[in-house]
Amino acid sequence: MAYFSPILAAQLVGLAIAGVSVTLPTQLRDAGLPSSLFAELDTTQPKPALSVTATPTQTGWRLDFETENWIFSDLCGRTDQPTAEGHAHIYLGDEKIGMATLPFFYLDALPYGSNAPITVSLRGPDHRVVVYDGEVISAEITLPAGPV
């Protein structure tokens, strides 16, 4: 069964990139999101996987991203054929809080009252959301608010 996050879907609405035609996964198409937001990987390629862990630091958290079949890169630009290479976008609830071109990200301590999950999604060089066989490649973690 494909994973679909309404929070991730809401985050994607404002990210349309014009002029790129991709296949839109059924669940995302049914949510009414434009296909230009997504980069559907060829299923003859190995499926990327993503998990996220958090380690406390003196001022917040270090998020580490473990991936399979994915290459982190700082290259940006349009690609006609999506590949398993790019970066990650990091969200706290509905708010984008950063981008990672390496498999880690430093996050300040969360303000009290923050109980929203942190969502990490893989993005292609053109910032489209990476999708494989109808599944958005993303991971989620919830951290405690306040000082670490």
Count CB atoms within 10 A of the CB of residue 29: 14
Domain that holds residue 81: 6-43+52-141
pLDDT-based confidence at 113, cuts 50/70/90?
low
Q: Which of 55-69, 74-88, 112-126 has the lowest mean pLDDT?
A: 74-88
Judge whether 92 lies within some domain: yes
Residue 114 placed within a domain: yes
Q: Confirm whether 148 is domain-assigned.
A: no
What are 145's two structure tokens? 């608010």
Percentage of the chain with pLDDT > 70?
71
Whether the per-residue pLDDT at 9 is higher than 60: the answer is no
Q: Average pLDDT, whole number, for the chain?
A: 78
Q: Please state the pTM of the whole predicted model.
A: 0.74
- Is 146 a domain residue? no
* Pairing mode, strands 38-41 and 129-132: parallel
More confident residue, 112 or 85: 85
How many domains does the structure of the chain reveal? 1
H-type alpha helices, 53-138: none
